[in-house]
Amino acid sequence: MAANPLPPSRTAFALLRDGASDLHPTRRVTSAPASLNPAQLEAVHYLGGPCLVLAGAGSGKTRVITHKIARLLEAGYAPGQIAAITFTNKAAQEMRERARQLIGPRAAKHLVVSTFHSLGVRILRQDGARLGLKPQFSIFDSDDVLGLLKEAGASTDNALARRWQWTISGWKNSGLNSEAAEAAATDDDERVAARVMRRYEEQLAAYQAVDFDDLIGLPHKLLGQDEEVRSKWQDTLRYVLVDEYQDTNTIQYELLKSLVDHPDERRRGRFTAVGDDDQSIYGWRGATIDNLKRLPQEYPSLKVIALEQNYRSTGNILRAANGVIANNPKLFEKKLWSDFGDGEPVRVVECDGEEHEAERAVARIQSLRGAGGANIDFKDFAILYRANHQARMLEKALRKANLPYKVSGGQSFFDRAEIRDLCAWLRLLVNNDDDPAFLRAVSTPRRGIGTQTLASLGEFAGRWKTSLYEALFAESLSAAVPARAIGSLHEFGRFVNDLEYRARHTSGAEDAKALLLGWLKDIGYEQHLHDGEDSEKLAAARWSNVLDFVDWIAKRCGGEIENDGGMAIETERRSVLDVAQTISVIISLAERGDEQNVVTLSTLHAAKGLEWPHVTLAGVNEGLLPFRSEDDEMTAERLEEERRLMYVGITRARSTLMVSTLRRRKKGRDTIQGVPSRFIGEMKLHEVQARVDPHEKLRALRAAAAERAAQAAAGVKG
């Protein structure tokens, strides 16, 4: 264990309790709260074994995690021995920054703060060779996977390939390989998918590539079958904290177990899982609430601590949330409360239809901003809904009122397959050694270079430790690749070289556009889009996206005449290759929206983890929320998850909440009578509810904590 880095005179948590801190000898902590509440303190200080922190919405879970990291450092853990696992890169970045403010930059630098997938990459980069992976294996994205699956299944049907993709991903997240999947298949469709999965696994191995699911599954496989590697990582990561634990799937839970199930019973179960069973809303993508049920069964000594004090919302909002979620069966008892006072009543409004609903939502924004003046920004507002199609009318109303907005939860322009195709080509021009870019470019469109040829090329490159592009021109390549295929590979290599040369020497918007359009014509990309889509309309829409992207790049090549204060000025000229070199930065800037002062439109799923002062829940009707299509059966499990989704929506609001329901709503091309969601009644807005006195609640909690401390002290003396 690392030596205690703290000054001997005062412990870290004495300092925290006093509202000052000196957790790092050269940095005083100014952002730490003056105190933690009793439940938070208990969660932070408990190091005696496995711990589950039930963190209700807005209860300060990130504060608990970062303070527990400080507590672990005080207990003698080295920063590199502590792993904090989150679900998104954004959440990981935020946690690292908050930890840095608390413990100082030096200690924070060595913490392992990552997503499950990033941790998987770390394990595979170091020890994947034991599974036959080279350190620089490729990670295939969703579109790459779709292309491979179409090959593996000898199909050009995108819809069928996507169904295979979802099915195979579900199997992988449940810990099944192709052999186990075939044994578990229940019908002919699943048996076909299992056979496709087997060929797909072979293709990935030949390409020295993995998909996103493999980033969890392969580390779990490695730790399970290799005792030496498992021991290494258990000794490396001696304490694990997992955020949003309710969102874990089966294979993520098993990976966690592999890290914390140390053979020495004294070291077994050194983890803290932080989650909320009431916010488990991702069952459709493999997350299972069963992982919460398993913890007390598999770790009988599990310490369960509930964080019930909410630091986000008013009393009226929390009572509405508690009223809804009370209708779900409880794994663990928990009820949110706040000392912010009742606040504004939750409003329910009935709207004639989607257009009227959108107008009401916009009018509410204008009214609140008019009343609050400069104190209320556009970014203080969010309109949340169950399904993406509900955004259309809301966008129309916001544009009509000239209110700025952004849509979250939909597909980014730069995530579209056709844009990723073109970016892969540009990445290859900039860095010829980018193997994932090479694989995407060489196969988009296809040019007579098949899977077996690329597999042979990959094996050759791996043997000689070169990139795939460099391997094209190796004199000994003919010994590994058939002569008929070498010609196609050399032709591709010469085309890339020529395109790179022209991109380097072409500048200005007009010439850049001509170059890019000529390149797309040379590779037959428009025809490739039409060949790959069943719908001509969809293919045309994708080609329109490509032309927009070409214009976007060309504009950044400069050379255009702009009027500046009455003077005609030519913008700075840049080569196409210069723009390609900065394309990742350009994309990053184009996608930034967090700092914009705009109204947020978002699906309820995408809104999880976020908060706004003023929230509108739109389309709260039967069939929309809870969502149900004609073909779907509303099982008890599905209804419970939809109810949790409503709970998440309610608890996004800090100060005011409006819930809107439709008297008439669209269903396909028809207009049907709208039925208010059962969840509106479950909020019990018209009932006089027992109100918890927050001050009395705090006094009771502090008294209970003091009693536990006294009992513990008496036990030590005894």
Active site residues per annotation: 61-62, 243-244, 279, 652
- Whether 17 and 25 have beta carbons less than 8 Å apart is answered as no
Tokens of 179: 């052999």
Tokens of 580: 């390609």
Tell me the C-alpha distance between 437 and 441, whole Å. Answer: 6
- Whether 646 and 679 have beta carbons less than 8 Å apart is answered as yes
User: Parallel, antiparallel, or unpaired for β 664-667 and 670-673?
Assistant: antiparallel
If one counts every other C-beta atom within 10 angstroms of the C-beta of residue 46, the result is 16
Rg (C-alpha) for the chain, rounded Å, is 28
Tell me the C-alpha distance between 393 and 467, whole Å. Answer: 50
- Residue 513 DSSP SS3: helix
Does a cis peptide bond (omega within 30 degrees of 0) precede residue 626? yes
DSSP annotation of 689 reads P
- Whether 456 and 468 have beta carbons less than 8 Å apart is answered as no
- Whether 453 and 485 have beta carbons less than 8 Å apart is answered as yes
- Whether 95 and 84 have beta carbons less than 8 Å apart is answered as yes
User: Parallel, antiparallel, or unpaired for β 653-662 and 612-617?
Assistant: parallel
CA angle 464-465-468, nearest 5°? 95
CA angle 456-209-80, nearest 5°? 140
Tell me the C-alpha distance between 386 and 645, whole Å. Answer: 9
Question: Half-sphere exposure (CA, 13 Å, Cβ side) for 98?
Answer: 20
- Whether 14 and 21 have beta carbons less than 8 Å apart is answered as no
The size of the chain, in residues, is 718
Token pair 């488990």 in the structure block, residue:
280
Q: Tell me which H or E stretch contains 661.
A: strand 653-662
3-state helix, strand, coil in the chain (%, to 5): 55, 15, 30
Alpha helices by DSSP H, 185-282: 188-207, 214-225, 227-236, 250-260
- Residue 383 DSSP SS3: strand
Nearest to 599 by CA among 351, 425, 358: 358
What is the DSSP track for 99-128?
Answer: HHHHH-HHHHHHSEEEEHHHHHHHHHHHHG
Amino acid identity of 628? R
- Whether 119 and 112 have beta carbons less than 8 Å apart is answered as yes
Query: Greatest CA separation found in the chain?
Result: 89
Amino acid identity of 543? W
- Identify any residues that bridge with 600 across adjacent strands, giving them in sequence order: 382, 406
Question: First-to-last CA distance in the chain?
Answer: 30
Tokens of 306: 């509930």
Question: Half-sphere exposure (CA, 13 Å, Cβ side) for 366?
Answer: 12
Token pair 């006072």 in the structure block, residue:
341
